[in-house]
C-alpha cells in the first residue's frame, strides 16, 4: 500500500512537471503554419476563442488566436492559464518597426514589454506603469529569450535578429511622431497591440513568457502600405522561429 501511494505521488508530481506551452498569435495568419503542423488536435471554444490542444514538434502545446488588442490578449491568455495547465507562453506575430536599424521582416525578441498607452502619470507614476508597480516594463524570461534568439538566427540569419523592448497599445501606429516618442520614452524597438498584455498576465501568474515579432511595416506614414505587402511573410517568419524553438526545448 505504501509503495502504491509513493508511486502515485511520484506519477502525479511528474505529470504536473510536464510542459504545456501556450503559443499565441493575434490573427489567423500568425498561427496558420503552426496549426498546419500540429498533431492530435483537440479543439474547444471558450469565450469566442478557439483553443487547439495537441502536439507540435512532439511538445504539448495549446495554440490559439487571441484576436487583436490588449483585452483580447489578456482574456485569452488568462483562459489558457486557468484551463490548459500552461507553464510557458510564447507570443508570435508581426509588429511595426520603431528602431532605425530594423528592416521589414527583421525580428525583435522581447527582453521587456511595456503598455505604451497606460498613463496615470498625473498621480506621479512612470508612463506605462500599472499603479502599484514601480517598473513600467514587464520582463520576458531569460531562458526563452535565449532559445528564441538562437532559433531566429538559425531561421533568418544573425543580421536580421535583435533583442529589445516591445511596446504595446490599442492603436495601429502609422506616424513618425509616435515612432519617435515610443523610442525616446520607452527605448522601444517595435510596436504592436498584444505583447505587453500577455506579459502582464504571465507576470501575474509567475509564468515565463517571450514575444517574437517580425516587422511587417515601419510604423511611420508608410505603415499601411508596407503592412499589406509584408504581413504574411513576417507572420510566417515568426511562426517558423517558434517551430524551431520547440525542437530545442
Positions marked active-site:
30, 217
Under the criterion CB under 6 A, does residue 166 sit at the interface with ligand ADE? no
Under the criterion CB under 6 A, does residue 172 sit at the interface with ligand ADE? yes
Give me the half-sphere count of Cα atoms (radius 13 Å) on the Cβ side of residue 112: 14
Residue closer to ligand ADE by CB (options 191, 246) is 191
Beta-carbon contacts of 205 under 8 Å, excluding residues fewer than 6 positions away, are 81
Residue closer to ligand ADE by CB (options 204, 221) is 221
Question: Smallest gap, in angstroms, from Cβ of residue 231 to ligand ADE?
Answer: 7
Q: Per DSSP, which regions of 176-243 are E strands?
A: 188-192, 209-217
Question: Smallest gap, in angstroms, from Cβ of residue 86 to ligand ADE?
Answer: 24
Residue closer to ligand ADE by CB (options 169, 208) is 169
C-alpha cell at 191: 510596436
Question: Smallest gap, in angstroms, from Cβ of residue 161 to ligand ADE?
Answer: 18
Closest residue by beta carbon to ligand ADE: 96
C-alpha cell at 99: 528602431
Question: Smallest gap, in angstroms, from Cβ of residue 173 to ligand ADE?
Answer: 4
CB of 112 closer than 8 Å to CB of 126: no
Residues 181 to 240: which contact ligand ADE by CB under 6 A?
Answer: 191-193, 216-217, 219, 223, 227
Residue closer to ligand ADE by CB (options 38, 231) is 231
Rounded to 5 degrees, φ, ψ at 96 are -90, 140
Q: Which window, 48-56, 100-108, 143-151, 167-175, contacts ligand ADE (CB under 6 A)?
A: 167-175
CB of 181 closer than 8 Å to CB of 127: no
- Here the contacts of 157-163 (C-beta below 8 Å, separation 24 or greater) are 160/103, 160/105, 160/106, 160/107, 161/106, 161/107, 161/109, 162/99, 162/101, 162/102, 162/106, 162/107, 162/108, 162/109, 162/189, 163/108, 163/109, 163/110, 163/111
Question: Smallest gap, in angstroms, from Cβ of residue 1 to ligand ADE?
Answer: 59
Q: How many residues bind ligand ADE (CB under 6 A)?
A: 14
Q: Which window, 28-36, 45-53, 153-161, 169-177, contacts ligand ADE (CB under 6 A)?
A: 169-177
Lay out the site mask for ligand ADE across 67-106 (x = CB under 6 A, - = otherwise): ---------------------------xxx----------
- Phi/psi zone of residue 85: left (φ > 0), alpha (ψ -120 to 50 degrees), beta? left
Q: Site residues (CB under 6 A) for ligand ADE?
A: 94-96, 172-174, 191-193, 216-217, 219, 223, 227
Amino acid at each position: 500500500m505504501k509503495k502504491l501511494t509513493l508511486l502515485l505521488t511520484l506519477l502525479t508530481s511528474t505529470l504536473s512537471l510536464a510542459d504545456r506551452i501556450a503559443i499565441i498569435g493575434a490573427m489567423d495568419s500568425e498561427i496558420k503554419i503552426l496549426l498546419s503542423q500540429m498533431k492530435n488536435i483537440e479543439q474547444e471554444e471558450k469565450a469566442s476563442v478557439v483553443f487547439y490542444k495537441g502536439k507540435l514538434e512532439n511538445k504539448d502545446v495549446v495554440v490559439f488566436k487571441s484576436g487583436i488588442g490588449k483585452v483580447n490578449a489578456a482574456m485569452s491568455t488568462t483562459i489558457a492559464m486557468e484551463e490548459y495547465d500552461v507553464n510557458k507562453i510564447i507570443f508570435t506575430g508581426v509588429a511595426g518597426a520603431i528602431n532605425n536599424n530594423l528592416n521589414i521582416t527583421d525580428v525583435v525578441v522581447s527582453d521587456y514589454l511595456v503598455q505604451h498607452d497606460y498613463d496615470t502619470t498625473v498621480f506621479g507614476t512612470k508612463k506605462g506603469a500599472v499603479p502599484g508597480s514601480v517598473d513600467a516594463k514587464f520582463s520576458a524570461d531569460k531562458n526563452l529569450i535565449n532559445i528564441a534568439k538562437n532559433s531566429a538566427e538559425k531561421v533568418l540569419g544573425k543580421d536580421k535578429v535583435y533583442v529589445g523592448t516591445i511596446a504595446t497599445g490599442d492603436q495601429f501606429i502609422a506616424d513618425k511622431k509616435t515612432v519617435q516618442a515610443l523610442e525616446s520614452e520607452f527605448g522601444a524597438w517595435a510596436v504592436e497591440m498584444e505583447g505587453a498584455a500577455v506579459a502582464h498576465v504571465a507576470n501575474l501568474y509567475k509564468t515565463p513568457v517571450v514575444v517574437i515579432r517580425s516587422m511587417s511595416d515601419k510604423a511611420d506614414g508608410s505603415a499601411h502600405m508596407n503592412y499589406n505587402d509584408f504581413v504574411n511573410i513576417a507572420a510566417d517568419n515568426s511562426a517558423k522561429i517558434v517551430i524551431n524553438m520547440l525542437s530545442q526545448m
